[in-house]
Amino acid sequence: MSVPDSTSSPAIAPREYEVYSGDDLGTNVLEVSMGPQHPSTHGVFRMNVTLDGETVVKLKPVFGYLHRNHEKLGEGMTYLGSMPYTDRLDYFCSMTNNWAYALTAEKLAGIAVPERAEYIRVIMAELTRLQNHASLMGFLTNDLGASGTPLLYAMREREHILDLFEWVSGARMMCNYMRFGGVRNDLPEGWLEQCKKVVDAFPAFLDEFDALLTGNEIIQARCQNVGILPRDLAINASITGPCLRASGVNYDIRKVDKYGIYDRFNFQVPLGEVGDCYDRFMLRLLEMRESVKILKQALSQIPASGPTLDAKSRNFRPKPGEAYGRIESPKGELGFYLISDGGPKPYRYRIRPPSFINLTVLEDMCLGQKIADTVIILGSIDIVLGEVDR
Amino acid sequence: MTNPPTPTVPIPGVHEGLRSELQKAGIFVVSTEFLYNWGRKNSIWPLGFGIACCAIEMICTAASRFDLARFGAEVFRPSPRQADLMIVAGTVTKKMAPQVVRLYNQMPEPKYVIAMGACAISGGPFKQGYNVLKGVDRYIPVDVHIPGCPPRPEALLHALITLQRKIETQRTLGSAERRNNPAYSDDSRDFPVPQYGEHDLVPAYNRDVWKARPVTRES
C-alpha cells in the first residue's frame, strides 16, 4: 500500500502561521486518576498519573483496594486451613499457589513427596502456566484495542484446561488440590488421556495465535520499544519471572532451584533482548511452547500407579523453625515464608508476591511514554490484584 | 430466532378471543409496558466492573463457551453512566466500598445489582478480615445474590435470567402507588457514600437498604 505524500500534494497550499513568541504560553501538568474502576487496570488498581500533554511525567500507584488480610488470616488458622486461601491469591494460577505453599510447609516439616505426586504437580503447574499466559496475551491485546477477539480465542483454550482442573479437583478455578506431602487425590480414570489430547492440540492454538498476532503491524508498532525495562534495573528491583527474562536475564527458578523434579525435564528458558512490551509479549508465547514440551515429557514419564499422598495433612504441627519456599509461578518468583512455634498455627505467614514486586517498576517503565502506553505496559507486567494487595 | 413476546396479562377493553385470532395472523396486541419491559430485559448492559476472582468467571461467562450474548447482556460498558446492571464480582473491601457506592449512584435509573459470589454477599471466606465489607447489600440494594466461591458461569447466567424475570414483572407506568418501585419513583436514589471514620466506615450501613438483624439471646 502506498501512502500519498502530503508534502508534494499540489492541492493543499502550505498555510502561513504566526508563531507566538511570548513566554507566558505554557502547558500545565494534569493529574489523572486512573482506577480503581477502569476497564484496563486488571482489577481494582489505581494509578495517579501526572501528564504533560499526553506524556507521563509522574506515576504513583495506589494499592490496597483488594487488601483481604490474607497474611493476618493465615496466622489465625491451621496450616492446612490456609491452603484454600492461597487459591485466591493469584486467582488465575491456583495450582501453582498451592504448590508454593505446600513446598514451604514440606520444607518446614521435612516431608517427602511420592514420585507420582511430583509428576502430577508438574503437570498441573505447567497447565496453569499455559492458561495464565494464554489469557494474559488475550487481555494484553484487549488493552491494545483488539476488542475481545484474541481474548475469546484464549478463553476458548483456557476452558479445556479448566475442564481438566475441574475433573481432578472439583473446581474450575479454586482447585485446593495440593496437600503437604503430595496431592489431595489421585487422577481420575481417563484424565491422563484427556490431558494428552489437550496438550497435543495446544501447539495448533499457539500457531494460530502466533499467526494472528505476532506479525500484526499494530501490535508491533504499539509494543516495540515501549516500556523498556533495563537489565540492571530489573535485577536491582528484584523483578522476577517473564518480566526479568524479557530483559535478558537468564533466571528461571525451575532451572536454578530445580524444585520438585524439574531437573528431569529437557526445556529451554527463552530470553528477551530489549526488554520492551513486545519482548514480554513474545516471551510468553515461547514459554508456552516450552511448557508444552515439559508436559509431553511428564505425561510420558509419569508412573502408572503409586501413592499420591503419604503424610497426613490434618493435625499438622511442624517443629519450631522457619522455612522459605519458592517456585516459578507464571508471574514470577512466588515465595511463602513460614515461622512455626510448634503449634497448629503458623507464628508468621508471609507471601512474596511476584505481581506486587514486578509492579514497583511501573513508574520507571512509564516515564516519558504516552498515557495510552501505560495501559499496555501495565498489561505486559501481568498483575493480578489478589496477589498484589493480598 | 427467539419466540415473539407472548403477552399473558389480559389488557382491559381488548377481547381475548380477538386478540388470539390476531396473534395467529402475526399481529400482537400488547401493552406498552409489556413491550417496554420485553425490550429492557433483553438488552441489559452490565458495568464492566471486576473486583476480584469472580470477575474472571464473569469474563468466562461473556467469553466463548458460555456466551452471555445469548441473553442480550454482552455489552459491558466501562462507564457507569451507560450501564443498567452492576455485577459486584468479588470482595468489596472497606477501601473499595466508597467507590462501589459512588459508581452505583452514577448509574442511571432503572438500575440493578447482582451480588456475585460469597464475598459480595457476606464477606465470604474473608469475612473475619479487618478490611473486608461484610456484604455489599449493606450499602446498595441487591436484586439477585449468587452463592459460590466463585460461582460457575452457569450460575451467573441463572442470575441474569432471574433478573430478567424480575424486570418482566415491574410496572413502569401510572401512579406512584401502582409503580411501587424505587427505580420509578420521583425521588432520586443517591445513597450516602461511606467514608473512613475513627474505627470503621461511616455510616456502617445504609439504613434505607439494610437493617441489622436483632440479636436475641436465650436466657
Q: Is the pLDDT of residue A98 over 60?
A: yes
Are the CB atoms for A226 and A277 separated by under 8 Å?
yes
Looking at chain B, which residue has its C-alpha nearest residue A148? B63
Q: Is A155 in contact with B65 (Cβ distance < 8 A)? A: yes
ipTM comes to 0.84
Residue B216 burial (10 A CB sphere; 0-12, 13-18, 19+): exposed
Task: Please report the residues numbered 220 through 239 in chain A whose beta carbons come closer than 8 angstroms to any beta carbon of chain B.
Answer: none
Give residue A1's pLDDT. 47
How far apart, in whole angstroms, are the C-alpha atoms of residue B49 and residue A49?
Answer: 21
A261-282 pLDDT, tens per residue? 999 999 999 998 888 999 998 9
Looking at chain A, which residue has its C-alpha nearest residue B91? A66
3-state secondary structure chain A: CCCCCCCCCCCCCCCCCCCCCCCCCCCCCEEEEECCCCCCCCCCCEEEEEEECCEEEEEEEECCCCCCCHHHHHHCCCCHHHHHHHHCCCCCCHHHHHHHHHHHHHHHHCCCCCHHHHHHHHHHHHHHHHHHHHHHHHHHHHHHCCCCHHHHHHHHHHHHHHHHHHHHHCCCCCCCCEECCEECCCCCCCHHHHHHHHHHHHHHHHHHHHHHHHCCHHHHHHHCCCCCCCHHHHHHCCCCCHHHHHCCCCCCHHHHCCCCCHHHCCCCCCCCCCCCHHHHHHHHHHHHHHHHHHHHHHHHHCCCCCCCECCCCCCCCCCCEEEEEEEEECCEEEEEEEEECCCCCEEEEEEECHHHHHHCCHHHHHCCCEHHHHHHHHHHHCCCHHHHHC
A134-173 pLDDT, tens per residue? 998 888 888 888 877 888 889 999 999 999 999 999 888 8
Looking at chain A, which residue has its C-alpha nearest residue B127? A68
Pairing of β A346-352 and β B46-47: unpaired
Of A16-30, A46-60, A263-277, B192-206, minimum mean pLDDT range? A16-30
Q: Is A43 in contact with B55 (Cβ distance < 8 A)? A: yes
The set of residues, in sequence order, having a beta carbon less than 8 Å from that of A104 and lying 6+ positions away, is A323, A324, A325, A335, A336, A337, A338
Residues of B in contact with A84 (CB under 8 A): 125
Are the CB atoms for A150 and A213 separated by under 8 Å?
yes
Would you place residue A63 in the very low, low, confident or very high pLDDT band (cuts 50, 70, 90)? Answer: confident
Q: Please state, rounded to an integer, the average pLDDT across all residues of chain A.
A: 87
A46-52 β-sheet, strand order: A30-34, A46-52, A55-62
The one-letter amino acid code at A177 reads Y
Integer angstrom CA distances of residue B76 from A282, A379, B44 = 29, 19, 9
Q: What is the mean pLDDT of residues A175-186?
A: 89
Task: Please report the residues numbered 58 through 97 in chain A whose beta carbons come closer than 8 angstroms to any beta carbon of chain B.
Answer: 64-69, 72-73, 76, 84-85, 88, 91-92
Looking at chain A, which residue has its C-alpha nearest residue B88? A37
Bridge-partner residues for A52, per DSSP? A55
Give residue A304's pLDDT. 87
Are the CB atoms for A40 and B67 separated by under 8 Å?
no
Residues of B in contact with A88 (CB under 8 A): 52-53, 125
Given A68, A159, A174, which is nearest B65 (Cβ)? A159
Are the CB atoms for B134 and B122 separated by under 8 Å?
yes
Residues of A in contact with B55 (CB under 8 A): 43
Residues of A in contact with B63 (CB under 8 A): 151-152, 155-156
- Grid cell 452505583 is found at B104
Give residue A307's pLDDT. 83
Of the candidates A381, A366, A390, the one whose C-alpha atom is nearest the C-alpha of residue A32 is A366
Nearest CA distance, A15 vs chain B (angstrom): 40
Q: Is the pLDDT of residue A60 over 50?
A: yes
Residues of B in contact with A72 (CB under 8 A): 129-130
Q: Is A65 in contact with B95 (Cβ distance < 8 A)? A: yes
How far apart, in whole angstroms, are the C-alpha atoms of residue B165 and residue B162?
Answer: 5
Of the candidates B143, B85, B89, B142, the one whose C-alpha atom is nearest the C-alpha of residue B110 is B85
Q: Which of B47, B64, B193 to mutate to test binding with chain A, by most A CBs within 10 Å of its CB? A: B64
Contact residues of B toward A, CB < 8 A? 48-53, 55-57, 59-60, 63-65, 78, 80, 90-91, 93, 95-96, 99, 103, 125-126, 128-132, 149-150, 152
How far apart, in whole angstroms, are the C-alpha atoms of residue A378 and residue A92?
Answer: 17
Q: Is A156 in contact with B64 (Cβ distance < 8 A)? A: yes
Q: Is A44 on the interface with B (CB under 8 A)?
A: yes
How many residues make up chain A in this entry? 390
* Residue B173, helix vs strand vs coil: coil
Nearest CA distance, A70 vs chain B (angstrom): 8
Q: Is A37 on the interface with B (CB under 8 A)?
A: yes
Q: What is the mean pLDDT of residues A100-109?
A: 91
Residues of B in contact with A68 (CB under 8 A): 52, 91, 93, 126, 129, 131-132
Would you place residue A336 in the very low, low, confident or very high pLDDT band (cuts 50, 70, 90)? Answer: very high
How many residues make up chain B in this entry? 219
How far apart, in whole angstroms, are the C-alpha atoms of residue A213 and residue A201?
Answer: 19
How far apart, in whole angstroms, are the C-alpha atoms of residue A379 and residue A155?
Answer: 17
Give residue B3's pLDDT. 47
As given in the structure block, the three cell numbers for residue A98 are 498451592
Q: Is B57 in contact with A173 (Cβ distance < 8 A)? A: yes
Give residue B188's pLDDT. 65
Q: Is the pLDDT of residue A38 over 90?
A: no
3-state DSSP: chain B helix, strand, coil percent, rounded to 5? Answer: 35, 10, 50
Integer angstrom CA distances of residue B117 from A174, A202, B54, B57, B85 = 13, 31, 7, 10, 16
Residues of A in contact with B49 (CB under 8 A): 37
Q: Which of A33, A71, A88 to mutate to test binding with chain B, by most B CBs within 10 Å of its CB? A: A88
Q: What is the mean pLDDT of each run of 10 residues along chain B (219 residues)?
A: 54 82 86 86 89 89 89 88 90 90 88 91 89 89 90 92 88 75 68 85 82 82
- Return the exposure string of A219-245: e unless at least 16 CB atoms fall within 10 Å of the residue's CB, then b: beebbeebbbbeeeebeebebbbbbbb
How far apart, in whole angstroms, are the C-alpha atoms of residue B172 and residue B37?
Answer: 8
A111-137 pLDDT, tens per residue? 889 999 999 999 999 999 999 999 988
Looking at chain B, which residue has its C-alpha nearest residue A170? B152
Q: Is A174 in contact with B99 (Cβ distance < 8 A)? A: no
Are the CB atoms for A99 and A121 separated by under 8 Å?
yes
Q: Is B96 in contact with A151 (Cβ distance < 8 A)? A: no
Residues of A in contact with B78 (CB under 8 A): 38-39
Give residue A14's pLDDT. 66
Of the candidates A189, A165, A188, the one whose C-alpha atom is nearest the C-alpha of residue A97 is A165
Nearest CA distance, A101 vs chain B (angstrom): 18
Q: Which of A146-155, A211-220, A294-303 has the highest mean pLDDT?
A: A294-303
Residues of B in contact with A73 (CB under 8 A): 126, 128-129
Give residue A126's pLDDT. 93
The DSSP-derived string for B106-126 is HSPSS-EEEEEHHHHHH-GGG
As given in the structure block, the three cell numbers for residue A103 are 513446598
Give residue A244's pLDDT. 92
- Return the exposure string of B61-70: e unless at least 16 CB atoms fall within 10 Å of the residue's CB, then b: bbbeebebee
- Grid cell 501447539 is found at A203
Instruction: Look up the pTM and report it.
Output: 0.87
